Amino acid sequence: LFFPPAAAPRTVVVDFSSPNVAKSMHVGHIRSTILGDSLARVLRLLGHRVITDNHLGDWGTQFGMLLTAWKRDLNAAALQTDAIAEMERLYKQAAAECKTSPAALEAARRELVRLQAGDAENLAIWRRMIALSRAQFDIIYQRLGVRFDHTLGESFYHPRLQPLVQELCDRGLARESEGARVVFFDDLPALQAHPALIQKRDGAFNYTTTDLATLAYRLETWQPDEIIYVTDARQQLHFQQLFAAFRRWRPEAAVRLAHVWFGSILGEDNKPFKTRSGETVKLADLLDEAEERAYRAVSEKNPALAEADRREVARVVGLGALKYADLLPNRQSDYVFSWDKMLALNGNTAPYLQYACARIRSIFRKGGVGGDLAPAALELGAPEELALARHLLNFGLVLAAVAEEYRPNFLCNYLYELAGRFTAFYEHCPVLKSAPGPRASRLVLCDLTARVLQQGLAVLGIETLEQM
């Protein structure tokens, strides 16, 4: 509707969300998850082949500490109740011990070495940690309507790391420096002072090594034209180093690499958004609160609605409000988190757009008009009709701009303007009470507006309702 499918469909890999095993998803994951999902949806809608990959943090030194504490202090009942909370407790306990006790640090190192060497007991515990974590992550993804084609964690690439470092050294692309192996960028002024470490003095690898192996795997397996990484602004230097190192290693690879970075979510004090007690806000708690606040608003406005219906409206409105508030700002800006603003029924919010959609559907119900309208010639006599029709025609241009510049806020602002133009049209141009010719034409305009609003919100990952 108002956009042509891509003339030359591309294969695009979108890497987003990427939580760490044995840790709760928190408010910091919401922007990557929602932004990555909306970009994947827009690209799919335009006809591109999209592959989504959740690059889990499932490998690293923290597992030595976790294994030590798991074997010694695991509370099986607590693990059953809330697995991630119990694993976080174990990790905090072990990390505190390792700071003060060389013996504890050595014990954690031994457990890590055993895991890396393929010890059966440690591998079994580690796999259980991953399974328990993924089960809790999947509940959140299901609530958000987010799906991944692949979830390949860091551990998947571990066997590729030593050969990769060896190849870079053999080809003279990396060299030894103070016992470590490093890629230098002497010919790149922006990175001259920031060489990329690929193997530490103790032989350990890091994110750059893993990300190089991941890039190579994606190229070999999916042959993408483009790979998009959606992370926060703090990782800009990392991705500049990664892309520069990769271009040296694989200069023949004709793949577009994009780091789509975003700003922070702030509290009303303009500091990073936290709970009242100063803790990081857990994502599950944030989703619960969004639904609960929406439920209270729905119950107040429409107390006659059945309980199950109220809960469903609250789910759609609450989660929609949260997503839209995250996608509306320029992604590179920080934004101040405000429940009141995001749940408002007026202004540039998801509830306002969802309400506009529901209001258009109510016009069809009142007029006894079914879903399939008879074709009608558009009569655009009034300036409000013309303005609405012209705005509808821009939908495809906006989608293309979102895909090209990775900015869903373009679509948010387009939909808000569309709802505003529809309101002006509806106030000045009677629909159901007009003569047959204008009535048919105006019903078509109503239908097209509802369809564009619904499709536009859907690619932002936001549902709509028949009634609100």
pLDDT digits 0-9 by tens, 314-337? 999 999 999 999 999 999 999 999
> 377 is written with which tokens?
């010639």
Considering the chain, what is the average pLDDT of its residues?
Answer: 94
**At 97, which helix (H) or strand (E)?**
helix 83-100
Three-state secondary-structure class, residue 186: coil
pLDDT at 355 over 80: yes
Among 6-10, 152-156, 207-211, 376-380, the minimum mean pLDDT is found in 376-380
The per-residue pLDDT for range 292-306, each reduced to its tens digit, is 999 999 999 999 999
- What gap in Å lies between CA 104 and CA 61, rounded to an integer? 13
Query: What phi, psi does 178 have (nearest 5°)?
Result: 55, 40
Give yes or no for a contact between 145 and 320, defined as CB atoms under 8 angstroms apart.
no
- What gap in Å lies between CA 213 and CA 217, rounded to an integer? 6
The per-residue pLDDT for range 118-136, each reduced to its tens digit, is 999 999 999 999 999 999 9
Label residue 4 by pLDDT band (50, 70, 90): confident
DSSP code for 235 = G
Beta bridge partners of 259: 229
Report residue 375 CA to chain centroid gap.
Answer: 39
- Strand bridging mode 49-53 / 175-177: unpaired
Give whole-number Cα distances, 331 to 32, 34, 212, 287, in Å. 10, 11, 26, 21
> 17 is written with which tokens?
């969300």
Residue 373's pLDDT is what?
Answer: 66
CA neighbor of 256 nearest in space, from 283, 229, 281: 229
Residue 465's pLDDT is what?
Answer: 94
A 10 A CB-CB count for 96 gives 12
pTM score, two decimals? 0.94
Residue 377's pLDDT is what?
Answer: 66
A 10 A CB-CB count for 51 gives 18
Residue 441's pLDDT is what?
Answer: 87
Sign of the dihedral defined by the CA atoms of residues 331, 332, 337, 340, in that order: negative
Q: What is the mean pLDDT of residues 149-170?
A: 96
> 289 is written with which tokens?
């609160």
How many residues are present in the chain?
Answer: 468
Q: Which amino acid is at 81?
A: T
- Percentage of the residues of the chain whose pLDDT score is greater than 70: 98
- Strand bridging mode 180-183 / 175-177: antiparallel
Residue 429's pLDDT is what?
Answer: 87
Among 145-149, 163-167, 275-279, 451-455, the minimum mean pLDDT is found in 275-279
Q: What is the mean pLDDT of residues 437-461?
A: 93
Three-state secondary-structure class, residue 60: coil
The per-residue pLDDT for range 221-271, each reduced to its tens digit, is 999 999 999 999 999 999 999 999 999 999 999 999 999 999 999 998 899
What is the arrangement of strands in the sheet containing 175-177, beginning at the earlier edge strand? Answer: 175-177, 180-183, 196-199
Q: What class, spelled out in words, does domain 364-461 have in CATH?
A: mainly alpha
